Amino acid sequence: MGSILDSLPRLPITDVLSSLGKALDLGTRAVLSAPPGAGKTTLAPLFLLEAGWRGDGRIILLEPRRLAARAAAGRMAALLGEKVGETVGYRMRLDNRVSAKTRIEVVTEGVFARMILDDPELAGVSAVLFDEFHERSLDADFGLALALDVQAALREDLRILVMSATLDVERVSTLLGDPPVIASEGRSFPVDIRHQDRPAGERIEDTMARAITEAHHGESGSILAFLPGQAEITRTAERLEGRFDAGTTVVPLYGNLGQREQDAAIRPAAPGTRKIVLATSIAETSITIDGVRIVIDSGLQRLPVFEAATGITRLETVRVSRASADQRAGRAGRTEPGVAIRLWHVGQTAALPAFTPPQILSSDLSGFMLDLAHWGVTDPAALRLVDQPPPPAVEEARNLLRLLGALDEAGALTPSGKRIRDLALSPRLAAMILHAAKDGEQVAAARLAVLLTEQGLGGAAVDIEERLRRFANERGERAEAARRLAQRMADGFGKSASATASAPGALLMHAFPDRVALQRGGRGRFVMANGRGAELPETERLAGAEMIVVADLTGQAGRQRILAAAEIDRAAVEAGLAGNIVREDQCVFDRASRQVRARRVVRLGAMILEETPLPRPAGPKAAAALADGVRQLGLQALTFSREAAQLRDRIGFLHRSIGEPWPDTSEAALLERVGDWFVPFQENTRGLDDVSAASLHEGLMALVPYEAQRDLARLAPTHFEAPTGQRHPIRYDGEEPVLAIRVQELFGLKQHPAVAGGRLPLLLELLSPAHRLIQTTRDLPGFWAGSWRDVRADMRGRYPKHPWPEDPAAAMPTTRAKPRGT
């Protein structure tokens, strides 16, 4: 090895570094798979420093989190006997430590995506290393796709290395064009995996506190406990209070902590003491907490899930994947033999998903689509992505970017879109700062944007004004860094006006025009401009506001809970969003009265700001509004006559049995085509109770092509004419047509009755003289020749006055009893 590596520790990854070097000497792509504790994050970049192809170029190492980036840079710098910022540095959103000497630059994945978008040639960069790629963050997927694009078009010499502890190697290798795959086997130290099943109904913090206490008494060394989120960490810490002596400290580790608190959590315990670290998935990869030899895994994680239908991202607590469970267990064997305790039954491990779902399948894609447009691409399919994003989420992102003025109708970046993208914020918040700058309020808007981006700043109050007041008075490194970041953002727009800044709500409405909300239905209940409802606890101050702007919310459609909002008045909305406010006459369906109403409205999106009643309408618009009522209430809101209901059943039967040209008449199909069979026949109707059965019959018949209408009676007759001459209705409401008829009326019939041109037999429900079911059959001749004998014997005893011939196929049909005396 080179001189640098001579002084480095020997780890499992050491054995494959020569193979890695050879792969990148001969080619430009490789995949490195190594278990936790193998040393890939620190030794692979240092090893590549002395590769001949590097020249004087930098090596970029991508890490999924800021904590991991700082830890990796610190570890590598320590191995070189240097400080961070010399040969090894890091770059992230709120903190940069690089210098002219830096040759290994550890960056967070979002920072790299921006680097490559702003400089597609990646000038001065020789290699890009994607660490912990198995986490499949959206930024990592996008960054890899861009790097492959750049390598193919501009930088054939650029090296790309994808590294992971647990990786779906085959799919990633295929995406990269099947480069060499280098695998490092084995951990640094063995890990004893044990299982402790959580009792049914017990809270995870109770199970975790008990497991930690038992492990602390029964094992030596520090403990790393994985919990799904900050709330569970806080509750677990409360349960552990007073259980240990002064030689053991309990510390939290999660994303909202400041840098000092995070660094303190991963710092080794002082000699002679022990540490219990309560962590989220933030501690799953890329960091080593010296002294930890016990891992206790709740088996749970909290993942963001974006719902295109509601436009919000909510957090879900779900089971970890097998890959994540392995990663967590590996933390116990980093520095010595360890123990991993899993708080679930051993048999449940096989049921865990193999890998954590990639973020691109469940994320808000607005920032991704904005960057894509900057790259000159309108369709994600043009990029080499491991997984393509869901079309509904893509369309939702496009719609939002158009609403913010960032994309034109063709999906191309607008001048405003370019400024929005330059701010390195979510498109919503960047659009807010851009708009605020027109009035010289960019500093206030930038502070508000940073407050909403950096969780925990200003506290957790729903009222954003209260958060801003607390943020202004917060001290500490994180708060100061956040204010400096906001100032840098604002400085790009020149000097701010000296006038008093607008209220937060007036700023926020330019970020969330679709979430301006009006109180409706009582205190704490609001309807947003996007037409969706959201709620606040009645005890919140904002619950009594007439209008608010919602910045954050959670929950599923119909039950959305507001997490952050600011008050706003109507005058500010009408002034600030004048271009979005529409004045129009509407015909609408009123559910309470089942009538069509006409009104003149002033609306913002689906939110009605003002309405004036108009005379009751008629005509096509009224019919269309009635149709909307049918969609809301379902077909049960209409009164079909017996003939119309049978017509629907007959047509539906022919659709199921024959297909084209007979239309589908199921409820879903009719509701989808309500404009075809309902609207044209209701132009003079003003309410659902006024809809005539004749118009419904006529509308259903209109669905059948004219040339097929004459075949309807032949293929699906309404009645069956019995040998007695009487007509009996045929039912078509089930899977097959049914005829209920007294058995005596079929005497003398030698062929089974059928419809659809004789192709489909009727299901005969054979009745007694008292119209009670005797038997069902699809083969009348077979019934005459077979089980009729038993039926006849039973019926003769019950109904002796009626004829029961031995040979019904040769008997005369009848509807009467035998004449007296016979």
CATH number for position 246: 3.40.50.300
- On whether the CB atoms of residues 204 and 228 are closer than 8 A, the answer is yes
The answer to whether the bond into 661 is cis (omega within 30° of 0) is yes
| 819: in domain | no
Say if residue 710 is in the same domain as residue 724.
no
Beta bridge partners, 765, equal 740, 776
Is residue 821 over pLDDT 60?
no
| Strand, helix or coil for residue 596 | strand
Q: Which of 36-40, 294-298, 581-585, 654-658 has the lowest mean pLDDT?
A: 36-40
> Which whole-number Å values give the CA distances from 772 to 92, 733, 745, 762, 807, in the listed order?
82, 20, 14, 19, 22
Element (H, E) at 535: strand 533-535
For 322, the domain range is 191-360
Say if residue 219 is in the same domain as residue 296.
yes
Say if residue 242 is in the same domain as residue 290.
yes
Out of 164, 183, 202, pick the residue that ends a domain.
Answer: 183
- On whether the CB atoms of residues 530 and 311 are closer than 8 A, the answer is yes
Q: What are 742-796's pLDDT values in tens digits? A: 999 999 898 999 988 888 899 999 999 889 999 899 999 999 988 899 899 888 8
| 222: in domain | yes
pLDDT given at position 478? 80
Say if residue 669 is in the same domain as residue 742.
no
Token output for 148: 């492959």
Say if residue 701 is in the same domain as residue 727.
no
Domains contained in the chain, number? 5
- On whether the CB atoms of residues 389 and 361 are closer than 8 A, the answer is yes
Token output for 116: 């490559």
Is residue 816 over pLDDT 50?
yes
> Which whole-number Å values give the CA distances from 618 to 474, 638, 653, 769, in the listed order?
62, 19, 35, 53
| 618: in domain | no
Is residue 690 over pLDDT 70?
yes
pLDDT given at position 558? 62
pLDDT given at position 1? 43
Q: What are 231-248's pLDDT values in tens digits? A: 899 999 999 998 998 899
| 518: in domain | no
Say if residue 114 is in the same domain as residue 177.
yes
| 469: in domain | yes
- In the block, which residue shows the tokens 């006006």? 497
Is residue 310 over pLDDT 70?
no
- The whole-angstrom separation of Cα 388 and Cα 385 is 6
Q: What are 557-602's pLDDT values in tens digits? A: 666 889 999 999 999 999 999 989 999 988 889 888 999 999 999 9
Work out the number of other CB atoms within 10 angstroms of the CB of residue 407.
Answer: 26
- The whole-angstrom separation of Cα 654 and Cα 657 is 5
Say if residue 370 is in the same domain as residue 290.
no
Say if residue 296 is in the same domain as residue 384.
no
Is residue 315 over pLDDT 80?
no
Triad 278, 282, 286: Cα angle to 5°: 115
- On whether the CB atoms of residues 682 and 691 are closer than 8 A, the answer is yes
Say if residue 370 is in the same domain as residue 355.
no
- On whether the CB atoms of residues 675 and 703 are closer than 8 A, the answer is no
Say if residue 728 is in the same domain as residue 689.
no
Out of 183, 213, 231, pick the residue that ends a domain.
Answer: 183
Is residue 499 over pLDDT 60?
no
Across the chain, mean pLDDT equals 88
DSSP code at position 407: B
| 639: in domain | yes
pLDDT given at position 5? 65
| 615: in domain | no
Is residue 4 over pLDDT 80?
no
Say if residue 198 is in the same domain as residue 313.
yes
- The pTM of the full predicted model, rounded to 2 decimals, is 0.71
Averaged over 633-660, what is the pLDDT? Answer: 91
647: amino acid identity, one letter? L
Q: What are 515-571's pLDDT values in tens digits? A: 999 999 889 999 999 888 999 999 999 999 999 999 988 876 666 889 999 999 999
Confidence at 144, pLDDT banded by 50, 70, 90: very high
Averaged over 210-222, what is the pLDDT? Answer: 94
Burial class (CB in 10 A: 0-12, 13-18, 19+), 331: buried
pLDDT given at position 710? 85
134 Cβ contact list (under 8 Å, min separation 6):
164, 165, 166, 167, 168, 323, 355, 356
| Strand, helix or coil for residue 489 | helix
482 Cβ contact list (under 8 Å, min separation 6):
94, 450, 451, 454, 457, 471
**On the CB side of 113, how many CA atoms lie within 13 Å of its CA?**
27
CATH number for position 427: 1.20.120.1080
pLDDT given at position 127? 96
Averaged over 335-361, what is the pLDDT? Answer: 90
Is residue 309 over pLDDT 80?
no
Is residue 820 over pLDDT 70?
no
Q: How far is it between the farthest Cα atoms of the chain?
A: 124
User: Regarding predicted confidence, which is higher, 634 or 170?
Assistant: 634
| 517: in domain | no
Q: What are 44-71's pLDDT values in tens digits? A: 999 999 999 999 999 999 998 888 888 8
Averaged over 720-747, what is the pLDDT? Answer: 90
Provide, rounded to the nearest whole percent, the portion of the chain with pLDDT above 70. 96
Out of 337, 360, 383, pick the residue that ends a domain.
Answer: 360
- On whether the CB atoms of residues 471 and 533 are closer than 8 A, the answer is no
Say if residue 766 is in the same domain as residue 805.
yes
pLDDT given at position 448? 93
